[in-house]
Structure formats: C-alpha cells, structure tokens
Structure 1
Amino acid sequence: MALLAIAVLATAAGMRGYAGFATWAATASDDVLAQLGVRFRRPSEKTFRAVLSRLDPADLNARMGSYFTAHVASSDPSGLVPIALDGKMLRGALRAKATATHLVSVFAHRARLVLGQLAVAEKSNEIPCVCALLTLLPGSLRWLVTVDAMHTQVVTAKLICATLKSHYLMIVKSNQAKILARITALPWAEVPAAATDDSRGHGRVETRTLQIITAARGIGFPYAKQIIRITRERLITATDQRSVEVVYAICSLPFEHARPTAIMTWMRQHCRIENSLHWIRDVTFDEDRQRAHTGNGAQVLATLRNTAINLHRLNGADNIAEACRITALTRFDRQPPPRPPQSTIPQLTSLLINNAGALALTHNLRSTSAARGIGWCGLSPARASSVNKWVSPAGSL
C-alpha cells in the first residue's frame, strides 16, 4: 500500500513514471514515509516497476472509481448526473508487434472527475468496452450519458435506458446512415431556433443555434424522444475565415425534462473529457511519450494520473500544471509555503497527509484486497508476500 500512496503523491507532484516515484521517495522525509507505510529502506525504481506493473488495472480502477463516484453522488444527490465517455490511445506504450494501449474513460461533466477507466480488448473496439464500463456505474444514480457518434448504437442505448434506468444524448453521423437520412429529411427550415449561444476565445467567435423536433416512432432508434440539430457558425478573427458545421443528435429525455439550454450545455460540456482530461494527461503529464509497457504498467500509470488530477480538483485546483508545481515544492513534514498571489489552490498536503478521509482511499485499496485474499489490488498472494517489507500492517494508515 505504501508504494501506491507514494505513487499517487509523486504523480500529484508531476512525476511521470517509476523513476520519478523513486526520486520522490528518495527525497521525502522519514516522517512522511512512515505515515505512508514505509517500514524499512526507501523503494527503488525497480521495486515500483515490479509491483505496479503487476497490479490488476481493472480492480484498481474500480476502487479508485468508487471513491470519486461518492463525491459526485454527494454533489448531485438528485436529478441527472451528466457523464461523458471517450477513448484515448497511450501511444508511448506502442512497441514492436503490438498495438498501443487503448483506454476508455467515464468523466463527470460538472465535477470534472474521472469515475472509471477500462482497456479496450485486443482485436476489438471501444463499443463493447463502453458497455462494460457503463455496467460498473452504481444504479443508485440516474446518469445522462453523452457519447460521440461511434457509440450511437442500439445496444448502448438499451443498456443506458433499460438496464441503468438512465438517459443518453448521442451524436448521429454516417455510421448510422439510415437514421441520419431520416433526421436530415425532417423539415428543419420550418423549425424555429430553440436556443442560441455565443462564445469568444482562442482567436475565434462561435455562434451555436439549436433546433429541436419531438421524435416520432419512425425514427428507428430506441428510447429517442427528441431530435436535435445544432448549427455552428465559426469566425477566425485573424484571417476572417468563416465556416458552418451542422451536427445532429438524439436524446432519450422528453422536452419537459431536457430543455434546449440544458441540451446545449450538455453538448458543450461533453468536450470537457478531451479538454479537461486527455489534454492534461498529454501535456501536463506527457503521457504519449511514456514508454512503460511491461505487464499492466501503462494502464496503472494512467489510473494514477487520473487519480492525481481528481485529487487536485477536489482540492480546488483549476490549473492542474500549477497544482503539480505547488505540490512538488511542498515539504509535507512542514508548514506549506505561501501560495502565489491570486492563487486559489489549497495545498494537496492537507488532503493527502493531514486528512484521514483522503487517506481512507489508499487504506480502502489495501483492506478490501486483503479481505478478498488477493494481496495488493489483484497482486497474487505470493507476489504480495515478497513485497510486504514495503508496507505497514493492515490498518496502520
């Protein structure tokens, strides 16, 4: 358990792999390492690689996901919880005669927290992986699932509505050619605009116009209640270049439960999984250049990055790169240094070291594994026994 706690803290400080974890452990104080469960000598890069690459990534993700889903549930005790699902390649893990690791994540729109992650099986695609990921969501919440056109599938829609008792907002493109043809043939020229939205930034001005038609049974897609058309007009201010894009979508919520402004918000926030997760993992954590590929290392390291991002967000951070730098400068055995002017980022120290609730995350990972008799998050009992010298007795955290 000590290795996982160190790896999470090191990742939160911007460390990007096994060597970084060993450096963090080598420079941490004895008191901090004792709090994290280190009993004897400081773990090396070889130890981190040997242990973390053998963890069960699905089991680890389930435990991390349940912890952060509880935070989403507490902030959304009633109504729908909008979540986005999307995939990402770990290109750095690509090696000879193999494919890059491909992961699908579920991301809460409002809280901007990763709630789960699964790997796409070899010789498969994201569609069955998304269905498997959806089945891991707790049935106690009602979800509003937003997906891109790849996942506009009958099987996915039935799983969301019939099994999860939740709802979807799906983009429709040419992979559902018959449905798209029926939608484009509707009399959109006679439909008034239900909502408009303007935004400026990054050198462009964008205007979005939303139209809605109540879905008839003839649309041919299960549970569809509303058909949506969004027209995006974009102006690049530097070149005066203009473009128009039309996007179609279907929603399982009726009009009285999904007003035009809400649909507009959900469609815009769906992009947060790219901007607030994938982009950060690529740029702040340089994920696409990470070469870990032995065993389950690539998936486990991706989960640690998700966990670090989530913890920073729970701690109030908007700028994850800045939060990592502040954490890297923090001496956990002393008072945190003064925050930069106008910074609203509290120290991760209080969340991970001084807060028993946060440490419960790492404690839960070990105690639940021990109860199941599988050692460290899916590590075999034999392998777990060989690394017991690194951890404190169960319950010491």
Structure 2
Amino acid sequence: MARQIDQDDVVSILDYFQELDDPRCHINRKHLLGDLLVICVLAVIAGADGPRSIAVWANAHADWLKKRLELPAGIPSHDTIGRLLALLKPDAFQQCFDQWLLAMREKATTQDDARELIAIDGKVLRRSHDRKRGIGPLCLVSAWAVRSGISLGQMAAGDKSNEIAVFPEFIEQINVRKAIVTLDAAGCQREVAAKIIDGEGDFVLALKGNQETLHNHVRDYIVTHMENDFAHVKSQKHEEESKGHGRIDKLVYYQMSWPKQLPDRDRWPGARTIGVAIRMSEENGRHTSDVRYYISSLRLGVKQFASAVRGHWGIENTLHWSLDVTFREDDSRVRNRFAAENLAWLKRMAISLIKQQKSKESIVMRRRMAGWNVNFLAEIIGLPTT
C-alpha cells in the first residue's frame, strides 16, 4: 500500500505555476496566471468540466477565493478562462508539474521494497470530434503510477491508430527508473522495450496480433507444457481469488524463463521471461474466461509478475473509470485541441490530488465532498482552510 501524502507535501503544487510562461498577450492582461490556474484546478476538483462551469464555480465562491488569491481584476470570465486553456501549450503546462510529480512519487513509499508500477495506455475522448473540420476524436496516452495513485503525464496521439507511434516518445518523457512499466498489446514494440531498459526500468508487455509470430510461439510453448503441468520446464505458478459486486474472479499466473527455442529474444532488449495470466470469472451464473500472454524483462518471480499484470488493470479500473464516470470525460465537447488536452490534464491531476487526501471515501464521494465543502477542497490542494 502506498503511504498517503501529508498536506504539507501537496501545498508545494502552487509554487510550480511560477515556472510556467504566460502565453497571453501582455496588452490588457488583467488577471494573474497563477490565480487563473489555481481557480481551474480547484473548480475541476469540485466538479467543473469546462471554461463556463469553472467560471460559474469561481463566481459562486468569489468571497472565499478573494481571501486566498490576489485577483486584482476580480473573478475572471469564462471567456478569459477559455482563452487561457486554448493558448497554453499542453507540453509546457505538464512540464511545470514534473518536479512536483517526482517529489510526490518519492514520498509515496511502499512496503517491502515494492517497486512502483507504471501502467501506460491510450484513451479516446469520444465526443471531442469536429466533423465540420474533419477532425476525429482526441486520443490521449496516459501514464498512471499504480501504487502512488499519481498521473505521471499524457500525450496526444491524434487518434487511436496513432497511439502506437506515440508510445516510444512518451516513455522518454517520464521517469521509469526502477519502475515496472506495463503496456497492452498496442505498446508491445521493440523500441518501447529499448526505451524502458535505457531508462533503467523493467517492462511487462502483453502479446497479441501486432506481434503475431511471437504471440503464437509463446502461446504454443506455454499451452504445450501446461498439458503436462510443466513437468519438463522450470516454471512458477501463483493463484488469486477476488470477490465483489456479485462477481468472483479466479486468477492463475504462470511465469518461466524465455526458452532457447523461441525466436527473436535478441531483438527484444532486456527480455528474460514469458508468462500467461488466466482469469476465470463467474457472475450471475455466467462463466467467462480471458487468457493473455506476456513477455518481460523481469527475472523469475511470479508474484511480482502477477502484481504487474494486475496493476495494469488499475489504469482502467482507477484512472479511466474515474475519468469516464466521475469526471464525465467522454461527454466533453471541447473542440480546441489545446483546451481539450489541458482540461484532460487538469482532470488527471485532480484525480492524483484527490487520491492523496486521507479519507476512506471513494474518489466519487471525495469529489462530491470537495464540491460541497470548500474547506475540504482547500485541504486537497493544500490551501489554508480558515
């Protein structure tokens, strides 16, 4: 379990706005950049999902904000907020938080020398398309630190078909040192493996059709030896069972060294092991199963392999689920690409901050509480509550 971060650790986020260049024209510039960004962060945590709702929230809490921010020209309009989000270059916006994110990861220590798990995956903002301009929906590749509960960054892929090309470049922008990085089949690329190894991390990559030959070799090898319970090869097995919401999942993992008769090992930097995860589920009397094969740079140690595979599901079950259900990201109709990316980053940062707040409540409930109680909201971001 990750240690929850004290509020003294979170307050430093406000300092990092100082490193961001103001993209607005200096003529008739009435509002401070830091004030605008703090308002955006607070409003998104409290339930806002676009420039207009951010401005409505700010006006509703004008007296409270004036005690904590300078606001030389009062509360900004939604047009002012919208223009800022459309002008801020997403890369620069994220970079000003890099050191803060690194500090949060370093402070979120784990038990038993457990390594950080970084799950990387793509997500499509389904309603962000603009048919009149021939622009498809925006696809964002995100990195999620599973144990720390922190979003490490994002990169626009244009559309889902382009995310494959984005993965290697994206990995260069995040710190993977000592971490175990997991990707689905779209990220199973030799260049991706090389970038992770160069960054002093380890990888667990899912196999599928994009590496069809290797996938078939790994599948056939494992299935053949599974028939005699791996009597002739050294392997490790781990089983788990989970229950929740009327569903029972039984998970079985096998891991073994990369066999000499399998081709292409030399073409995969750092590759050491192969593995399989078998999930058998029962819900309302209906049985389903799912089998996934993997290549990895991890040494033999099936519990660590299982933890990495299970951790990758965290980006779907924690980050993407929260973005869709709690932050309603798929409903966003923001057309400007910079604004859409910046709002997406604000939402990911908001989830990271909410998860650091000490509470037994769910992310959904904590966000509602932030919308109901400005003092609770202040605690999340590290502002004074009085």
Pairwise same-fold verdict (TM > 0.5): yes
Report whether the alignment pairs 1:59 with 2:92: yes
After TM superposition, give the deviation of residue 290 of structure 1 in Å. Answer: 1.2
After TM superposition, give the deviation of residue 121 of structure 1 in Å. Answer: 4.1
Alpha-carbon RMSD: 2.2
Report whether the alignment pairs 1:115 with 2:148: no
Report whether the alignment pairs 1:281 with 2:323: yes
Query: Is the partner of 1:195 in helix, strand or coil?
Result: strand
1:215-256 C-alpha deviation (Å, 9 max, x unpaired): 1343414122111122222222x2x2223322111110111x
- For 1:234-253, list aligned pairs within 5 A: 234-236=281-283, 238=284, 240-253=285-298
- Looking at structure 2, the residues matched to 213 and 65 of structure 1 have their Cα atoms a distance apart, in angstroms, of 37
Aligned to 1:326: 369
After TM superposition, give the deviation of residue 353 of structure 1 in Å. Answer: 5.0
After TM superposition, give the deviation of residue 66 of structure 1 in Å. Answer: 3.3
Aligned to 2:345: 303
- Asked if 2 retains the 8 angstrom alpha-carbon contact of 1:282 and 1:288, the reply is yes
Question: 1:235 is aligned with what amino acid?
Answer: E
Which of 183, 187, 203 pairs up with 2:246?
Answer: 203
After TM superposition, give the deviation of residue 124 of structure 1 in Å. Answer: 5.8
- Asked if 2 retains the 8 angstrom alpha-carbon contact of 1:149 and 1:170, the reply is yes
After TM superposition, give the deviation of residue 37 of structure 1 in Å. Answer: 3.1
- Looking at structure 2, the residues matched to 52 and 93 of structure 1 have their Cα atoms a distance apart, in angstroms, of 15
After TM superposition, give the deviation of residue 31 of structure 1 in Å. Answer: 5.2
- For 1:185-224, list aligned pairs within 5 A: 185-186=220-221, 187-189=225-227, 190-191=229-230, 194-217=237-260, 218-221=262-265, 222=268, 223-224=270-271
Tell me: CA distance 1:36–1:133, structure 2 relative to 1, closer, same or farther (3 Å): farther
Query: Is the partner of 2:179 in helix, strand or coil?
Result: strand
Which of 56, 80, 85 pairs up with 1:47?
Answer: 80
Aligned to 1:395: none
- Asked if 2 retains the 8 angstrom alpha-carbon contact of 1:79 and 1:142, the reply is no
Aligned to 1:15: 48
Which of 80, 87, 98 pairs up with 2:135?
Answer: 98
- Looking at structure 1, the residues matched to 160 and 372 of structure 2 have their Cα atoms a distance apart, in angstroms, of 44
- Asked if 2 retains the 8 angstrom alpha-carbon contact of 1:205 and 1:235, the reply is yes
- Asked if 2 retains the 8 angstrom alpha-carbon contact of 1:112 and 1:272, the reply is no
Report whether the alignment pairs 1:129 with 2:166: yes
- Asked if 1 retains the 8 angstrom alpha-carbon contact of 2:185 and 2:207, the reply is yes
Aligned to 1:30: 63
After TM superposition, give the deviation of residue 80 of structure 1 in Å. Answer: 3.0
Report whether the alignment pairs 1:176 with 2:223: no
- Asked if 2 retains the 8 angstrom alpha-carbon contact of 1:61 and 1:116, the reply is yes
* Runs of 5+ unmatched residues, structure 1: 337-346, 357-397
Aligned to 2:193: 157
After TM superposition, give the deviation of residue 325 of structure 1 in Å. Answer: 1.6
- Looking at structure 1, the residues matched to 73 and 90 of structure 2 have their Cα atoms a distance apart, in angstroms, of 27
Aligned to 1:87: 122
After TM superposition, give the deviation of residue 105 of structure 1 in Å. Answer: 0.4
Tell me: CA distance 1:14–1:197, structure 2 relative to 1, closer, same or farther (3 Å): same
Question: 2:102 is aligned with what amino acid?
Answer: T
- Looking at structure 2, the residues matched to 326 and 200 of structure 1 have their Cα atoms a distance apart, in angstroms, of 28
1:127-170 C-alpha deviation (Å, 9 max, x unpaired): 2322122111236x312100101111111111111x21211011
After TM superposition, give the deviation of residue 76 of structure 1 in Å. Answer: 4.0
Query: Is the partner of 1:243 in helix, strand or coil?
Result: strand
1:334-377 C-alpha deviation (Å, 9 max, x unpaired): xx4xxxxxxxxxx2313435369xxxxxxxxxxxxxxxxxxxxx
Using the size of structure 2 for normalisation, the TM-score is 0.81
- Looking at structure 2, the residues matched to 204 and 193 of structure 1 have their Cα atoms a distance apart, in angstroms, of 27
- Asked if 2 retains the 8 angstrom alpha-carbon contact of 1:25 and 1:33, the reply is no
- Looking at structure 1, the residues matched to 170 and 107 of structure 2 have their Cα atoms a distance apart, in angstroms, of 21
1:305-343 C-alpha deviation (Å, 9 max, x unpaired): 111111111112552221122112224xxxx4xxxxxxx
* Runs of 5+ unmatched residues, structure 2: 1-33
- Asked if 1 retains the 8 angstrom alpha-carbon contact of 2:62 and 2:75, the reply is no
Tell me: CA distance 1:265–1:241, structure 2 relative to 1, closer, same or farther (3 Å): same
- Asked if 2 retains the 8 angstrom alpha-carbon contact of 1:210 and 1:229, the reply is yes
- Asked if 1 retains the 8 angstrom alpha-carbon contact of 2:116 and 2:148, the reply is no
- Looking at structure 1, the residues matched to 289 and 64 of structure 2 have their Cα atoms a distance apart, in angstroms, of 59
Query: Is the partner of 1:216 in helix, strand or coil?
Result: coil
Query: Is the partner of 1:125 in helix, strand or coil?
Result: helix
- Looking at structure 2, the residues matched to 312 and 122 of structure 1 have their Cα atoms a distance apart, in angstroms, of 29
Tell me: CA distance 1:38–1:353, structure 2 relative to 1, closer, same or farther (3 Å): farther
